[in-house]
Amino acid sequence: MSDKTKADAGYGKLGLCSGCGYFPDYLNSHRCTPGDACIRAHSGRQIDRFLRTNPDEAHLYLADIFWERRAIAARYAPEALITPLQRDNDEVVRRVVASRIPLDQLATMSRDPDREVRLSVASRLPEAQLATLISDPDYMIRATVARRLPHGQLARLAKDPEREVRKVVATRLPPFALHMLANDPEPEVRAVVAERALPGLAAALLQDPEWWVRLAAVSNAPLEFLEPLLSDPEAEIRDAAKARLAEANAA
């Protein structure tokens, strides 16, 4: 039995091979398998397996009518060919493009309506261009920007309306600049400040109304400020102060 006869008997009956330009050559050379790796299937898994095996074919599907086929093709096609898909009407396609497009073209996608697209942009955009996303309406985008901004620009997010963004800023500001967040309305932010504060600021935070902020400040405050904490209403703070004083006396 010839290879074509075997292919017809074993796979043609599934219907997907009928009229396919890759049949029977790709099937016989194990470059596709109906039900497992097939460009004509309406299955992302099968499409991906086909294009993973045959990446040179990906560019042929960048304008396909099926959004998932376009999105998967964009993963494998040459970067130079996926630029037009920045404006694709499907956000999944644009997410793939944002994750692969050359950096010098990425800024054009910074105002994409889809959050995940902008997250990809924020995670890849050159530092010099990150400031364009500081006012993004989505706090997750701004938090991503805060994780990557140069230290000299972090102060611009110290008053961000979202607590999670300010927490990121507190983890990255140089210790000498943490005073900008020492009076933050959220104790979670102040606790991050206390963990990293220089001695003078840490001493001030020992008076914080929230016990976990005071606890975080214990390890950085000067020893002479710890004695009053031995009477703190919170046992964890008393124990932390006592342990640090004992360690200092033993040294």
pLDDT tens readout for residues 166-180: 999 999 999 999 999
Enter the tokens of residue 177.
């600049």
15 token code pair? 């219907």
How far apart, in Å, do the first and last CA atoms of the chain sit?
88
In this prediction, residue 19 carries a pLDDT of 83
User: Does the pLDDT value for residue 146 go beyond 60?
Assistant: yes
Average pLDDT, the chain: 93
pLDDT tens digits, one per residue of 103-138? 999 999 999 999 999 999 999 999 999 999 999 999
DSSP per-residue string spanning 182-212: TT-S-HHHHHHHHHH--HHHHHHHTT-SSHH
pLDDT > 70: percent of the chain:
94
Q: What is the mean pLDDT of residues 187-192?
A: 98
Nearest-angstrom CA–CA distance, 234 and 212: 9
In whole angstroms, give the CA distance from residue 96 to residue 203.
Answer: 49
Confidence class for position 18, pLDDT limits 50, 70, 90: confident
DSSP result, 80-130: GGSGGGGG-S-HHHHHHHHHHS-GGGGGGGTT-S-HHHHHHHHHHS-GGGG
What confidence score (pLDDT) does residue 12 get?
47
Percentage above 90 pLDDT, the chain: 88
Query: What pLDDT, on the 0 to 100 scale, is given for residue 17?
Result: 85
CA 242, CA 91: separation in Å to the nearest integer? 56
Domain ranges of the chain: 131-172, 174-251
pLDDT at 9 over 60: no
